[in-house]
Amino acid sequence: MPRGRPAVRAPAHGRREPTGRRAGPRSLAGPPAEAPAHARFLDLEPERAEREWRRYEGTPQRDLFRVVRERFLGRHAVAGGWAVDLGAGPGRFTGRVGPDPTRRLALDLSAPSLRLGRERTRTDAGGAAVGWVRGDALRPPLRPAAFAEVVLIGNTLGFELDRGPQLLERTESLVAPGGVLLVEIAPGPGEHARYLARLPPGAVRRLLLAPARAIVPRIAREGYVAEPLRHGGEAFRRWTVAELHRRWSGAGWRVRETLAVAPGLGQVPATVAEVASDPRAWERLVSLEELLGLDPPRWRNAAAVLLAVERPLPDQTI
């Protein structure tokens, strides 16, 4: 893994986003962006940045979505080297990228998001501060193959629409040999387990105290219910797990994990709230959701899928 200071390329146009304590490469603005999606993030108001931060807090259902992502990031944290969170927004998950101490960068187009991120993100004792970089992930001012861990979550890939393949290629190019790439996509509208949804919330809470091996067969027997589409039109491209697996396998990358986010109860907020009242049941729910999310049939309709892949070392490339 690279342990030196990754070069940050200075774009032709831009300005420095103040970072406070220096933590790594200089924070430089990326070149002007012309795509509609880019324009939305460039013009993002502070209130919208705040809403993006709150998207993963305030209700047990939002907590579940956040915890599943945080645990996923924790499982694939790479010790040593640099880590970068692309399209980081206000940095809700940036502090979870890599183990402490890790040299982290957060790159985003939105200046209000970066300012909020500096205010909200805290590092534990001994952890490295985050370097906040205003820039374009389609043309990142970063040295290729310089990062032990590269993160692209929040469906940033899908929102780029026809520019998504270009974004993915640029993102992959930042990963060092032997490094890890973590990506989130939104293949479908979401789904929930029919068995868990039909039970009263209190019954589900008590049921979760039983071993998972006793619950999973009942869930499988009754199947899943797909959620209705929540958008009048497709606001983003729906990447599929199959196409990403084919892409990475063909390039010699190793798929470490593919996880649908909370397919069991994630779409049933009242029951999630009841379960959250019992710490032991809550812990069992999170583990059950991770177990269910590893099942390949759950990937097709999932509202969110997390993928972790490892770039091959030079002598492993096919």
Delimit the domains of the chain by residue range.
36-185
Q: How many residues does the chain have?
A: 318
Asked if 65 contacts 56 with a C-beta cutoff of 8 angstroms, the reply is yes
3: confidence class by pLDDT, cuts 50, 70, 90: low
Q: Scanning the structure block, which residue is given the tokens 């907020």? A: 269
Query: Would you state the pLDDT for residue 102?
Result: 81
30: exposed, middle or buried (Cβ count in 10 Å: 0-12, 13-18, 19+) = buried
**Tell me, what amino acid is at 225?**
V
50: confidence class by pLDDT, cuts 50, 70, 90: confident
Q: Does domain 36-185 have CATH number 3.40.50.150?
A: yes
Does residue 217 register a pLDDT over 80? yes
Asked if 78 contacts 180 with a C-beta cutoff of 8 angstroms, the reply is yes
Query: Would you state the pLDDT for residue 117?
Result: 87
Calpha distance 287→293 (Å, rounded): 10
Query: Would you state the pLDDT for residue 27?
Result: 33
317: confidence class by pLDDT, cuts 50, 70, 90: low
